[in-house]
């Protein structure tokens, strides 16, 4: 008896418990991947949804990328944010101005 046939006999061939566990593991991995892809699709949709205002779209972009809207009005990423959220650069700059108006001054 070869080592491979011995192994198949002991674990039940390709239909034994080990094969079932491996198949279950692959199915869980595939399910997890589908769930991650769907979550990503929904996050991307939030960034571009006509139902969301500029503030919500930019917040969705920040959440998706784990970044904050830069405070500098000349920062190059502002154009990228505008394109990703399907807003104009003016809309992004307006949201930036609103945020900077609400930031309390640091006391020294």
Q: What is the pLDDT of residues 14-64, one digit of tens each?
A: 556 666 777 788 899 999 999 999 999 988 888 899 999 999 999 999 999
How many H-runs (helices) and E-runs (strands) does the chain carry? Answer: 5, 0
| Best CA proximity match to 60, nearest among 50, 45, 71 | 45
CA–CA gap between residue 95 and residue 19 (Å, rounded): 55
Domain ranges of the chain: 3-102
Model pLDDT, residue 20? 73
Model pLDDT, residue 102? 78
pLDDT above 90 (res 5):
no
Residue predicted with more confidence, 71 or 1: 71
Q: What is the pLDDT of residues 88-99, one digit of tens each?
A: 999 999 999 999
């Amino acid at each position: 008896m070869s080592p491979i046939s011995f192994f198949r006999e002991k674990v039940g061939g390709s239909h034994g418990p080990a094969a079932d566990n491996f198949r279950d593991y692959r199915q869980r991995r595939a399910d997890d991947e589908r769930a991650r892809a769907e979550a990503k699709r929904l996050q991307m949709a939030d960034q571009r949804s006509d139902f969301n205002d500029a503030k919500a779209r930019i917040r969705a972009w920040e959440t998706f990328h784990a970044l904050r809207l830069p405070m500098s009005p000349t920062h190059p990423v502002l154009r990228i944010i505008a394109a990703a959220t399907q807003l104009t650069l003016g809309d992004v700059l307006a949201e930036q101005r609103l945020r900077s108006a609400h930031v309390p001054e640091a006391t020294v």
